[in-house]
């Protein structure tokens, strides 16, 4: 009986001692989030005010996310999270590169990499105008997110290098409105600008008419859409009697075309062929070919420099012949002469001959090909818009 009582007393003491040790055991110490295989979204997957996703392993429902740049650290609203990704709202005023920090139980881990937020203007339910518009008309663009102080910028590849047409806008509940200035023409890219932020909205077509004096010359041909066409320089180049270029064997032909729209590429091909010719021949070192004179031309108009001139193709030159009377009324008349096109002759004659158009004729179109070096005739450059 005594033995039983003693054992029971010993058991109770051990139980109490074990219980005290359990209660006194230290609580687990939180550690910073351990996150692996992090993948940031690409710049095209991020937009101010929109949801973004960072993927990886080790995210937790208790995680918070902070974005930090050179000026401030901002907590972003987490929208959803699981072990493999965290989704959050990018602040509406965000833009540029951000370091991303994940916080869990007041401990932080900075992710390896950067979140790049484009400096864009976000417009919802964008509605661009259809069809074409005349210079001076009012353009309406629908959408949500425009603000007072926004401006529109118009640009085009055929404008002088660096030219941007900036236009103030009127903001309404439906979107914005602005007036097309007289200097804008053809197909233009429309960009909305707000401080450092900018977004391309689309394009608008601004109608052009034959006879318009724009782009450093006179419009002499427009396509059916009225937003593309050709502009002719107001003067001939060189003298009234200039050679096309060196006469070559068929193997020396540049491979030019005759159709409308081929003059610019013709001139580029001829320039490349001429550079190769000059490397092995010095007969043209002191003179310029017809297409070189056009390519090197620069025209300054209203303090803007136009440098994209070329020798027209045969059909582009024929269209010029059709409006030669109009050109005289615009101070850009073409004196009676034959004129070079940039179109080489057909077949075996392609190396040594090129097409011309006869401007002595009052009405009838007369065109043929003649010796590139033996014939000396006129040159009139054009440009495309």
What digits encode the pLDDT tens for the residues 260-289? Answer: 999 999 999 999 999 999 998 999 999 999
Distance CA 299, CA 233 (A): 8
Whether residues 230 and 354 share a domain: the answer is yes
Q: Given a cut of 70, is residue 2 above it in pLDDT?
A: no
Are the C-beta atoms of residues 158 and 310 closer than 8 Å to each other? no
Q: What is the mean pLDDT of the chain?
A: 93
Tokens 């529109």, located at residue: 152
> Count of domains in the chain?
3
Alpha carbon 316 to its chain centroid, in Å, reads 28
- State the CB neighbour count (10 A cutoff) for residue 128: 15
Task: Express as a percent the part of the chain with pLDDT over 70.
Answer: 93
Residue 45 falls inside a structural domain: yes
pLDDT of residue 31: 87
The last residue of a domain, from among 206, 233, 258? 206
pLDDT bracket for residue 25 (50, 70, 90)? low
Q: Is residue 169 part of a domain?
A: yes
Give the C-alpha distances (Å, rounded to integers) separating 40 from 57, 116, 257, 341. Answer: 13, 9, 49, 55
The pLDDT of residue 29 is 76
Global pTM reads 0.84
Residue 59 in any domain: the answer is yes
Write down the H helix ranges in the chain.
2-23, 263-280, 290-295, 314-322, 324-329
Q: Answer whether residue 7 is part of any domain.
A: no
pLDDT tens-digit series, residues 56-77: 999 999 999 999 999 999 999 9
Give yes or no: residues 308 and 341 share one domain: yes
Query: In angstroms, rounded to a whole number, what is the distance separating the alpha carbons of residues 278 and 18?
Result: 101
* pLDDT the model gives residue 50: 96
In a domain, residue 24? The reply is no
74 lies in the same domain as 223: no
Checking if the pLDDT of 16 tops 60, the result is: no
- The reply to whether 228 and 341 lie within a common domain is yes
**% of the chain exceeding 90 in pLDDT:** 91
Distance between CA 289 and CA 310 in Å, rounded? 12
Q: In this predicted model, what pLDDT tens digit does every residue of 358-382 receive, in sequence order?
A: 999 999 999 999 999 999 999 999 9
Q: Is residue 31 part of a domain?
A: no
Which of 84, 100, 117 marks a domain boundary? 117
Domain membership flag for residue 18: no
Per the structure, the complete domain to which residue 237 belongs is given by 213-384
CB 214 within 8 A of CB 232: no
As a whole number, mean pLDDT of residues 173-191 equals: 97
Which of 60, 95, 117 represents a domain boundary (last residue)? 117
Residue 13's pLDDT band, with cuts at 50, 70 and 90, is: very low
6 found inside a domain: no
Neighbours of 290 (CB within 10 A): 28
Distance, CA of 108 to CA of 31 (rounded, Å): 9
pLDDT of residue 373: 97
Asked if residue 221 and residue 155 are part of one domain, the reply reads no
Q: Is there a single domain that holds both residue 225 and residue 263?
A: yes
């Amino acid at each position: 009986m005594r033995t039983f009582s003693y054992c029971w007393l010993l058991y109770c003491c051990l139980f109490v001692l074990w219980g005290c040790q359990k209660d006194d055991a230290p609580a687990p110490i939180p550690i910073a989030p351990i996150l692996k295989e992090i993948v940031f979204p690409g710049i095209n997957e991020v937009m101010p005010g929109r949801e973004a996703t960072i993927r990886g392993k080790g995210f937790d429902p208790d995680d918070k996310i902070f974005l930090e740049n050179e000026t401030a650290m901002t907590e972003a609203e987490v929208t959803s999270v699981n072990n493999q990704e965290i989704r959050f709202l990018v602040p509406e005023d965000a833009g540029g590169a951000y370091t991303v920090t994940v916080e869990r139980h007041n401990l932080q881990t900075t992710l390896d990499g950067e979140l790049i937020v484009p400096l864009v203007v976000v417009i919802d339910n964008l509605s661009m105008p259809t069809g074409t518009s005349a210079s001076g008309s009012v353009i309406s663009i629908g959408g949500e997110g425009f603000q007072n102080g926004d401006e529109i910028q118009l640009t085009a590849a055929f404008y002088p290098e660096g030219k941007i047409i900036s236009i103030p806008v009127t903001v309404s509940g439906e979107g914005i409105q602005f007036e097309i200035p007289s200097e804008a023409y053809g197909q233009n890219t429309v960009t909305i600008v707000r401080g450092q932020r900018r977004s391309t909205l689309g394009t608008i077509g601004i109608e052009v008419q034959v006879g318009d004096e724009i782009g450093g010359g006179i419009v002499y041909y427009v396509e059916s859409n009225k937003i593309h066409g050709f502009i002719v320089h107001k003067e001939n180049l060189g003298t009234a009697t200039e050679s096309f270029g060196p006469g070559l064997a068929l193997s020396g032909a540049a491979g030019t075309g005759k159709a409308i729209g081929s003059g610019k590429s013709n001139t580029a091909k001829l320039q490349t062929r001429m550079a190769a010719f000059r490397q092995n021949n010095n007969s043209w070192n002191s003179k310029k070919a017809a297409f070189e004179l056009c390519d090197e031309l620069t025209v300054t108009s209203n303090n803007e420099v136009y440098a994209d001139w070329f020798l027209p193709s045969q059909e582009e030159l024929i269209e010029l012949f059709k409006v030669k009377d109009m050109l005289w009324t615009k101070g850009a008349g073409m004196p009676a002469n034959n004129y070079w096109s940039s179109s080489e002759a057909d077949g075996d004659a392609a190396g040594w001959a090129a097409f011309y158009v006869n401007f002595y004729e009052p009405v009838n179109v007369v065109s043929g090909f003649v010796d590139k070096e033996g014939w000396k005739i006129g040159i009139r450059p054009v440009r495309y818009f």
